[in-house]
Structure 1
Amino acid sequence: MFAIDILVKLVPAFIAVVPLCIKLLKTFYQGNDNMKIVLRSLGLSVLTQFLTLPILTLIMMIVLYFKPNLDNEDIKSVTMIWIIIISYISIIFLLLKLNYKSRHAYTIATNSLQVRKHDQNVLSILKEQLPIISNRIVNENSKVDGKLKYIEKLDYEKESKETVIFRWLSIFSWLVIPLTSIVLIYNFDDTQYNIWYVNLSILILAIIINTFIIHSDIKIYEGKVSLTINLAKRHIKQYNKLKEKRNRKDIRKRNSI
């Protein structure tokens, strides 16, 4: 009866996760490129979930270092307080990321594609030129200076400021769901719900939800932006601001001449 009671109470969680699973499965059949993005998102979601364990361990070690006389319950309580604090900080990063995405999504997507295209071009040139240089060196041919100077100048292209900021905001925002799952599992400790399949259900649900959050960010890095009217309006507003800023710079330059 107890197991049935637990299953009944888990029904809302199953009802919530089924549509997400269906949506996740649909994305697998929308093309190979999208499947790769989903798999990357799922892998990053699992990795992020596992990252909460060293975070939890590190916080416990810090608490023990500064408060060595605390008993186990107090250590767990203090650790969980810090986990909750970090969770709130992650939520702030998530909100900042959503706002930043609404203003710079297309700029970030375009920059990411350009950087990837440039880096692939550099790799293809290196792949072509290095065997030629190696062959000439092996055959004691001294005519390699020009090619060496050429490939020495090749380098990976740096990402734009907007892309770098968005990347860091994304990484920190991905911790929201995993940390929340740890808090939920902790709250079930010493209760009738502290059962392996309840905890496992929470972890699986957290991984699935986080996969969608990560998926929406990776799509931007792949140059795929879901356009909405509000998104377009915010981008137009941002473009006008950038245009005015550049115009002011041009005026200052002309005045300084």
Structure 2
Amino acid sequence: MDTLQSASDDRALLQSEWQFQDASPQGMMLNTLSNELSDGDVSEIISYLPEIEGLEVLELGAGIGRFTTHLAQKARHVTAVDFVDKFIKKNQKSNSCLDNIDYVVDDVMNLKMSPNSADLIFTNWFFMYLDNESTRCLLAKLLYWLSLNGHVFLRESCVHGSGNISLRKATTYYREPNDYEALFNSVTVPTEDKQAVYGFNVIASRPVEIYRKVMNNSNQITWLLQKVRRDASSTLEH
């Protein structure tokens, strides 16, 4: 119970810290170099996604919609979730011409979604604010929410921070890339027939080139994961 309360307190503190950030690319990226980074960053990240034409997309930590617009222009439908109301309002205003987006103000850790309801789950700088236990908990939820062979895309700051604006009181976990992959491999959930498990395969991983070029930083890392069915005994090998 103490661990659950501590995680809840951490999320409340993180939410309060984000409330003070501007609803702008600089506020989202926590970086005064956002003018040099933002457009190229968005284009590069979008280029790493699988084909999403006609798919159901769940965007976690959607913010002001830096990526929401691009997702919604191709996907059948996007559910954009963020726990800061002013960010969602900015997102909704920016995308008022698109009618295939639902906006949800909620903490992702409390979010309820139907099983197999998303074909792609997109996150950007999200897991770096979760401890290992919370990360495993959310990864398990993603496996339930994803359709079979659906994908999760995530980008995280590894090793050290990449911005020059800080969240003063919130805890950030700058993991090694290998630590993330160990977490991905550690999570499975039972299949509906209880005869096997669902888990993640890492399909691709790469650094974000624009951060390498502009900030000499090779530790912005992206992953593309796929939900797969596997024999339960195979998880013992990880």
Quick check: which one's helix share is greater? 1
Quick check: which one's strand share is greater? 2
- Which of the five TM-score ranges fits, normalised by the shorter chain? under 0.3
TM (norm. structure 1) is: 0.22
- Where relative contact order (Cα < 8 A, 6+ residues apart) is larger, the structure is 1
